Amino acid sequence: MGLNWWDIIAMQPMINTLIVLTKCLFNNFGLAIIFLTIVVNAAMLPLTLKQVRSSKAMQALQPKLAELQKKYAKDKQRLSQEQMRLYKESGVSPAGCLLPLLVQMPVWIALYQAIMHVLAVIPENLLGLSKYLYSWPVVYSALPLPNEFLGLNLAVGNNMLLAILVGGSMWVQQKMVMTPTADPKQQSQANMMLWMMPMFFAFLTLSFPSGLALFWVTSNVIRIAIQYSVSGWGGLVKSAPKKQADQDRDKKYKQHIAEVEKLPQGADIVAPSLTQEEGLSHGESGSKWQDRRGGYPKSLRAVRRQPRRGRGHRRKRG
């Protein structure tokens, strides 16, 4: 039986690359899986970044979308129109999250199938592996591939440590992109998915070969690093309780500065009515709330303008 188009453009390159990498990386199939996973992620990095940024933009719109749903709950057509208008004004496309993922899926499927074939978990896979091999001497000299990696047999499953690593890394990744919502129903569904998906993949890890689990762990760690570079820890770390208060203080400060700039030259400037606690520094970059004595910005505490020297200036007593 000949090869179909999927085998030619996806399976063959992945399988032969895995075999050659194993030969080059000290005859270690585990290192080959990790290295190829990193290379594939690096090749798809632009798409991954686009997906992550689109997801972040969608998360930022969730409060406004929730307001629209509440306002137009009885008018579905108007709700759809207002949502599309909001997407257009914000420059966010709902397909921006889905399209990059759809492009990446065939690559992940090919890599998954290549690992399963090369591991030759069942005799049928070992017999059928030859039809995927290129006629390269290095490919045939590397076979059969060793299955041992850090004391693990990559051809068998039922490894509890890898199951925990797969489930834990997937939970961290999902938690980072999780956005709190005021709707109890939506929050309940999000919490359920947060736990169900990691538990499901952890269960699959116990059933599938450990080589596939190694691929999942590596992919999850890379995605966590990419997600962190774009949006930090996100929902994984709760915001400090006083963060909103700090933002309000900055807003109050900026409003006062705007009022000060409108005053004529030489006018007395009254400092904003802030308590001493409000005047403390909260450590945000570029903030001017540094004064611990006057309870308001140091730059405003001494802004009372003095008359220029010359006419009208009080002379020193002799």
**Is the pLDDT at 308 greater than 70, yes or no?**
no
Tally of residues, the chain: 318
| pLDDT-based confidence at residue 265 (cuts at 50, 70, 90) | low
Cα separation, 302 vs 300, whole angstroms: 5
- 44, burial (CB in 10 Å: exposed 0-12, middle 13-18, buried 19+): middle
Cα separation, 43 vs 55, whole angstroms: 20
Is the distance from CB of 30 to CB of 149 less than 8 angstroms? Answer: yes
Chain centroid to Cα 23, Å, comes to 34
Q: Report the pLDDT value the prediction gives residue 125, as an integer from 0 to 100.
A: 64
304 CB contacts (<8 Å, ≥6 apart)?
A: 268, 269
**Is the pLDDT at 297 greater than 80, yes or no?**
no
Is the distance from CB of 179 to CB of 59 less than 8 angstroms? Answer: yes
Pair of tokens at residue 94 = 């709902």
β-bridge partners, 148: 153
Cα separation, 250 vs 247, whole angstroms: 5
| pLDDT-based confidence at residue 261 (cuts at 50, 70, 90) | low
Q: Residue ranges of the domains in the chain?
A: 5-181+193-236, 243-301
Q: pLDDT of 3-22, one tens digit each?
A: 788 888 888 999 999 999 99
Chain centroid to Cα 48, Å, comes to 9
| pLDDT-based confidence at residue 217 (cuts at 50, 70, 90) | very high
Cα separation, 274 vs 256, whole angstroms: 11
